[in-house]
């Protein structure tokens, strides 16, 4: 399989994942509006949306078409996983919030790995458009730090209270 086809598959997989991450982050923000968690989520939601647009623009510049199926699948998967969280634990429990933040943390970690991989490949692909991968990696790191801070606070509430 040619490299351009492989990168297209990889980018579309991440685009689908970003749809799931955006939906989950927005759900957490809305559910906890007016709380410290809701306040912490607002910039993360905005940044995830910006990162998703950056990825889409990069794909367009590479001539990679967006797979609407993967984007819809990502959103659907997020909705199903939220249902599983709710079925497993009654109501808006600290454990549900903890699990949702943990899932989002894993998604942002995957996004960071995307930017790292693309930065490495871009060094060998002069035909690729320029993108400030360092800034994207740094932003993902900041998101991870905040999500981890919130998650660990919930660990105390969920497991030690």
What contacts 71, CB < 8 A, 6 or more positions away?
15, 16, 19
Instruction: Please report, in tens digits, the pLDDT of each residue of the chain (161 residues total).
Output: 666 889 999 999 999 999 889 999 999 999 999 999 999 999 999 999 999 999 999 999 999 987 665 554 545 555 555 555 555 555 668 888 999 999 999 999 999 999 999 999 999 999 999 999 999 999 999 999 999 999 999 999 999 98
**Cβ atoms of residues 94 and 151 within 8 Å:** no
> Would you list the domain boundaries of the chain?
3-159
1: Cα within 13 Å, side-chain hemisphere: 7
**Cβ atoms of residues 51 and 139 within 8 Å:** yes
**Fold of the domain spanning 3-159:** Ferritin (1.20.1260)
């Amino acid at each position: 399989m040619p490299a351009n086809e492989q990168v297209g598959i990889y980018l579309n997989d991440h685009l689908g994942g970003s749809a799931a991450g955006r939906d989950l982050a927005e759900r957490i923000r809305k559910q906890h509006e007016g709380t410290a968690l809701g306040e912490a989520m607002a910039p993360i939601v905005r940044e995830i949306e910006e990162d998703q647009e950056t990825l889409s623009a990069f794909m367009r510049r590479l001539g990679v078409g967006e797979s609407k199926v993967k984007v819809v699948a990502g959103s659907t998967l997020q909705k199903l996983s939220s249902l599983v969280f709710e079925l497993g634990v009654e109501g808006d429990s600290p454990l549900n919030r903890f699990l949702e933040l943990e899932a989002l943390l894993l998604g942002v970690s995957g996004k960071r790995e995307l930017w790292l991989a693309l930065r490495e490949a871009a060094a060998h692909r002069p035909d690729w458009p320029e993108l400030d991968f360092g800034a994207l990696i740094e932003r993902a790191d900041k998101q991870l730090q905040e999500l981890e801070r919130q998650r660990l606070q919930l660990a105390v509430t969920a497991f030690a209270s």
